[in-house]
Amino acid sequence: MIFIETLVYVVKDNKVLLIRKKRGLGAGYYNGIGGKVEEGEDVVSAAVRECREEVGITPKNLEWMGLLEFWNYEDGRVESVHFVHVFLARDFDGVPRESDEAEPIWFGVNEVPYDNMWSDDVMWLPKVLSCKKVYARFDFDRWRLIGGQVFELARSA
C-alpha cells in the first residue's frame, strides 16, 4: 500500500510544538502534527486539516521543508510505502488543545525528546528545525529502522 502523508512542525519563540500520539502507529511517541492526505486533497490542505483535527490550531504560511520516504518490509516484501511532506509553520491561529488522537506539548528546539520518537527523526528533524530542506528515505522491517539516508536540498537562488 502507498500512502501520501503530511507532518507539520510549528516553531515559535525557539520552541517546537510536538504531539504525543495517543493511538495508531507510533502511539506513545512524540511527533509532528499530521496524517494521511485524503482523496481529492492537496498536501497543504491536508496539513492544515490535520492540525485543526489533532490540536485545534490553524497553521499560517506553511513552508514546505522536504519529502520523507518510509519503506516498511515484512518477510522481505514491501508492506507499505509512505511519502511524507514535511512543513514548518512559524505562526498559527487558535490555542493548542488535546484531542482523542494527540496531546500537544511545547519543547525547546534544543530539547526535542528524540529518545521517545521514531528512530529516524534524529537523522533529519534537526536539519528541518534549523531551516534546511531535506529529502530522505528510510527502510524499516516491521517498523524497526534498518537503514536510511538523508540529503539536504540545495537552496534555490
Query: What's the pLDDT tens digit per position in 113-137?
Result: 999 999 999 999 999 999 999 999 9
Surface-to-core class of residue 126, CB atoms within 10 Å of its CB (0-12 exposed, 13-18 middle, 19+ buried): middle
DSSP string for residues in 93-112: ES-----SSEEEEEEEGGG-
Please write the tens of the pLDDT for every residue from 73-83: 999 999 999 99
Instruction: Give the count of alpha carbons within 13 A of 24, CB side only.
Output: 10
Contact 153, 146 (CB under 8 A): no
**pLDDT at res. 154:** 83
**pLDDT at res. 156:** 61
Contact 139, 146 (CB under 8 A): yes
**What is the average pLDDT value for the chain, to the nearest integer?**
96
Surface-to-core class of residue 89, CB atoms within 10 Å of its CB (0-12 exposed, 13-18 middle, 19+ buried): buried
Beta strand pairing call for 102-108 and 134-141: unpaired
**Residue that has been written with the C-alpha cell 496524517 in this structure:** 35
Say yes or no: domain 2-145 is CATH 3.40.50.300.
no
Instruction: Give the count of alpha carbons within 13 A of 97, CB side only.
Output: 10
